[in-house]
Structure 1
Amino acid sequence: MKIRRDIIDRLKQWKDSENRKPILLKGARQTGKTWIMEEFGKECFEHVAIFNFDKVEELAGVFEKTKDVQRILKELALFTDVPIEAGKTLLVFDEIQLCEGALNSLKYFCEDAPQYHIIAAGSLLGVAIRKKKMSVPVGKVQILRMYPVTFKEFLQASDGRTYHYVNNLEVIEPLPDIVLSKLELEYKRYLVCGGMPEAVTALLGNKGGQAVDEALQNILDMYTLDFSKYASSTEIPRINSLWASLPSQLAKENRKFLYRIIRSGARAREYEDALLWLEEAGLIYRIFNVAKPGLPLSAYQDLSAFKVYASDCGLLRRLAKLSPEVILSGNTVYTEFKGALAENAILQSLVPRNDVMPYYWSSENRAEVDFLLQFPTEVVPIEVKADSRISGKSLSVYANKFAPQLKIRFSMNNLKINDGLLSCPIPLADWIDKIVKAAISL
């Protein structure tokens, strides 16, 4: 099954831009970077010339001899069966982390041959760049981030009619019961598979929960092998332990990251490199606490207090060994982790907007607002409830202290706004900018 990815639209804008630079596509393994480059090329160009530095080791030699772009192009032509023509051919540099010369050449393509369309990507690109002390040609490339399949993309593939209804929403008003019911069902299915394309395809292809779990477990196993292959010998056990502790970190009522959950007596300095490794690999998101909701939020962050989430809710579910049946049936024993999974799914929706991490706020262990979202002129607090029960005082404590113009509560209750509190169904998180704009205009 083919899943339409929104990043295609951004790539089309890049293709037609007058000030175009080569793209450096970053993202976690198995999010579909290679597929999207090839798909975009087939859709928008006459030819796609793919140069994979892992499959063809001799390619590296092309970039060792010269920095002259025209000479590079002539030699690259020997490694492809398609013509390399400016404006007609998309050049794909895959697994570029294996060739520092190719990475550096992006600068010269930008300066000397901007008429060529080039997209480069690689596995664990951030990790490789730090490990090998490679330099990225800053200002000469456009960095574009690839995320797992979003719920919005998932819904478009799974239930096009419901997707179009939601996508055409213009006002804040309750959704018809049938729409809300379908959204809840598709949201549960999304929690099962997450956004890894292989798992999404297995679920939408009706291959069953076992096939979805096998796809996710294969990815987790691949990540574990990556730890051993790309991390130093001292980092490997720490990365493994930190990664395995993720479900336990999030199952707590207070989701602040605690080193003692990894290992009794663990210290921050021991695991900082492991956290950074997982971040650079695109496997986790780290969001920081802020002392107060001022603009910009980054000016008030507390670097010692943070929460860690998985970059994909499906991988988190599988890492926790939570069966699909528990999510789909609404098992009554499924409580604390249900909230954690809901928060993780919401965060997956928030991160791609402008490629910016949200923050969170807490007050002397008395209250905690799950996320703070920065808009151009204000900060919006966000509370996440996993179902229709909305007890809790944290949002009220925050509102009494800071009097925000708008507050958001994600839950499985219907869409409405009352006295500045926007109640929004969790599945609509991908449309949050549009919904907030409508709410503020009221």
Structure 2
Amino acid sequence: MLKRKIYDDLLDWKRKSKGQTALLIDGARRVGKSYIAERFAENEYKSHIIIDFGNAPQDILDLFSYESSDMDLFFAKLSAFYSTLLYKRESLIVFDEVQQFPRARQLIKYFVADGRYDFLETGSLIRLKKNTENIIIPSEEEHIELLPMDFEEFLWAMGDEVTVPLIRKCFESKTPLGQTLHRKIMNDFRQYVLVGGMPQSILAYRNGKDFEASDEAKRRILRLYRDDVSKFAAGYEEKVYAVFDGIPGQLSKKEKKYTLSSISRDARFRAYEDSFIWLNEAMVINACFNATDPNVGLALSADHAMQKCYMADTGLLVTHTFMDTAFTDNELYRAILFDKLDINEGMIMENIVAQMLRRGGHRLYFYSRSDSANRVNHMEIDFLITEKKKISPIEVKSANYRSHSSIDKFRKKFSPKVGTPYILYPKDVMEKDGIWHLPLYMAMFL
């Protein structure tokens, strides 16, 4: 059993909603939506019914299509089909993979108004236009995202519930952890980076700390993602494949911005824009946009034609990078485990920071300005976040970095708006030159 933080959010929804809204869990494929919905149903209700619309019999689909006007008869038939007694205000009905049958989602309005039972939906690819274009989205539907398991959840799965509270305490007091403890946590963090946050990968790994079993689980997920592209991106699937397959190569570049000319000399953003949107809405990637003028706000100045595409799960990126070769040839496992990353492989650590910032509720932005005529104006800031109405620049560095000239230039140029600057790197907590240097794993608290 895997402990997930979203469970507390489900409890909070049940307590506050009291049946007045349904809850939709939105997330990428294989992120654990069905698992958490089933555990919640089993633990918190007197009875429950789970309808898997990915494999629902025709009798159930017909029930939704033709017999939903009589609620008494509808629920009586549903109860009889699943051989489950339903209790007023004590039963939960789960619509699993609801994107496969949009009609059921549209009926949520009437089920909630009926008020007898609670309703929980799960869906992947739920934001794609193809899965919503013929229905009216019910206003009685609340949304919650389920993202890959974070570092703390990974440690829980490994039987460790004490480390992250200690890290949080040191973060809040800006106190070093000490060499021995920091080394131990970085070792655990590197394992998390390699395994990733997909539940199937973690379950495969924790049985003997088997990286190869984890890698095979991630390969199955990546193949599933490719199958989804062929099903749900019909008409431009080749462009989605091209963008997706190019992610490791783009991130391995120094500046990491996605350059379409690497796909085709004649490629233009307008022709590929739908491909980036598809991958982002399928929650396969975390898109990071260039905020061209932080003075006016990050979202207001975001240039969507200039973006970095991080994988939503770093463990998947590690496998995706060497997808066409055997596990034994994947050099990233050795490089990360033994802290031997070269400059190109540093993309992995930048990707995990993007993943942790996204999990922390941040939209992802960076700052890039090129000026060959005047190097003073040339800047590359990996991430920008908003803290207390100020803009905090973040750079991801190796342990042996020599300078932070871009942060210095950024602080000078946007001084009235700049908050606390951060450098995330593999060493312990330190303050230098007015910049807080934090271990990579502390990105979860920013």
Q: Secondary structure at the match of 2:395?
A: strand
Residue 386 of structure 2 is aligned with which of 365, 374, 383?
374
**Which position in structure 2 is the counterpart of 1:91?**
93
1:357 paired with 2:363, answer: yes
**Which position in structure 2 is the counterpart of 1:436?**
none
Q: Secondary structure at the match of 1:75?
A: helix
Counterpart of 1:143 in structure 2: which amino acid? H
Alignment of 1:102-181 (within 5 A): 102-113=104-115, 116-127=117-128, 129-130=129-130, 133-158=133-158, 159-169=160-170, 170-181=172-183
How far off is 1:239 after superposition? 1.3
In 2: Cα distance, 1:360 partner to 1:353 partner = 16
In 1: Cα distance, 2:220 partner to 2:178 partner = 39
1:136–1:143 Cα change, 3 Å: farther
1:71–1:396 Cα change, 3 Å: farther
Higher mean displacement: 92-101 or 372-381: 372-381
How far off is 1:18 after superposition? 3.9
Higher mean displacement: 255-264 or 388-397: 388-397
Where do 5+ consecutive residues of structure 2 fail to align?
323-329, 372-377
1:13–1:64 Cα change, 3 Å: same
Equivalent residues of 1:162, 1:182 under 8 A apart: no
Question: Residues 28-47 of structure 1, C-alpha deviation per residue, up to 9 Å, x if partnerless?
Answer: 10101100101122222222
1:67–1:95 Cα change, 3 Å: farther
Alignment of 1:377-416 (within 5 A): 377-387=389-399, 389=401, 391-403=403-415, 404-416=418-430
1:8 paired with 2:22, answer: no
Q: Secondary structure at the match of 2:107?
A: helix
Equivalent residues of 2:229, 2:240 under 8 A apart: yes
Q: Secondary structure at the match of 2:344?
A: helix
In 1: Cα distance, 2:82 partner to 2:94 partner = 11
Question: Residues 210-253 of structure 1, C-alpha deviation per residue, up to 9 Å, x if partnerless?
Answer: 11111111111111122222221x31211111111000110110
Equivalent residues of 1:67, 1:105 under 8 A apart: no
TM-score computed with the length of structure 1 as normaliser: 0.90
In 1: Cα distance, 2:411 partner to 2:54 partner = 54
Q: Secondary structure at the match of 1:429?
A: helix
Question: Residues 386-421 of structure 1, C-alpha deviation per residue, up to 9 Å, x if partnerless?
Answer: 435353311111111112231111111212345642
Equivalent residues of 1:156, 1:163 under 8 A apart: no
In 1: Cα distance, 2:440 partner to 2:72 partner = 52
Residue 195 of structure 1 is aligned with which of 186, 197, 201?
197
RMSD: 2.1
Where do 5+ consecutive residues of structure 1 fail to align?
433-442
In 2: Cα distance, 1:165 partner to 1:157 partner = 17
Higher mean displacement: 158-167 or 220-229: 158-167
Alignment of 1:49-88 (within 5 A): 49-58=49-58, 59-65=60-66, 66-88=68-90
In 1: Cα distance, 2:279 partner to 2:218 partner = 18
In 1: Cα distance, 2:227 partner to 2:364 partner = 30
Equivalent residues of 1:249, 1:256 under 8 A apart: yes
Equivalent residues of 1:405, 1:420 under 8 A apart: no
Q: Secondary structure at the match of 1:294?
A: helix
Equivalent residues of 2:22, 2:120 under 8 A apart: yes
Q: Secondary structure at the match of 2:346?
A: helix
How far off is 1:153 after superposition? 1.0
Equivalent residues of 1:26, 1:145 under 8 A apart: yes
1:136–1:418 Cα change, 3 Å: farther
Q: Secondary structure at the match of 2:299?
A: helix
Alignment of 1:208-219 (within 5 A): 208-219=210-221
Counterpart of 2:279 in structure 1: which amino acid? L
Q: Secondary structure at the match of 1:336?
A: coil
How far off is 1:155 after superposition? 2.1
Question: Residues 297-332 of structure 1, C-alpha deviation per residue, up to 9 Å, x if partnerless?
Answer: 21111222111111110111111114422221233x
Counterpart of 1:10 in structure 2: which amino acid? D
1:272 paired with 2:279, answer: no
Q: Secondary structure at the match of 1:126?
A: coil
Counterpart of 2:120 in structure 1: which amino acid? I
In 2: Cα distance, 1:338 partner to 1:196 partner = 21
Q: Secondary structure at the match of 1:78?
A: helix
Counterpart of 1:98 in structure 2: which amino acid? Q
In 1: Cα distance, 2:339 partner to 2:252 partner = 17
1:150–1:386 Cα change, 3 Å: farther
**Which position in structure 1 is the counterpart of 2:23?**
23
In 1: Cα distance, 2:439 partner to 2:400 partner = 9
1:428 paired with 2:435, answer: no
Residue 335 of structure 1 is aligned with which of 330, 342, 351?
342
In 1: Cα distance, 2:339 partner to 2:238 partner = 35
Counterpart of 1:17 in structure 2: which amino acid? K
Q: Secondary structure at the match of 1:195?
A: coil
Q: Secondary structure at the match of 2:120?
A: strand
Q: Secondary structure at the match of 1:252?
A: coil
4+ residue runs over 6 A deviation:
none
1:11–1:339 Cα change, 3 Å: same
In 2: Cα distance, 1:86 partner to 1:131 partner = 31
Question: Residues 49-102 of structure 1, C-alpha deviation per residue, up to 9 Å, x if partnerless?
Answer: 111122223222122123454443233212323222233222110121222220
1:352–1:50 Cα change, 3 Å: same
- How many aligned residue pairs are there? 425
1:68–1:182 Cα change, 3 Å: farther
How far off is 1:5 after superposition? 0.7
1:380–1:67 Cα change, 3 Å: farther
1:382–1:76 Cα change, 3 Å: same
In 2: Cα distance, 1:269 partner to 1:292 partner = 23
Alignment of 1:282-301 (within 5 A): 282-294=283-295, 296-301=297-302
TM-score computed with the length of structure 2 as normaliser: 0.89
Counterpart of 2:439 in structure 1: which amino acid? P
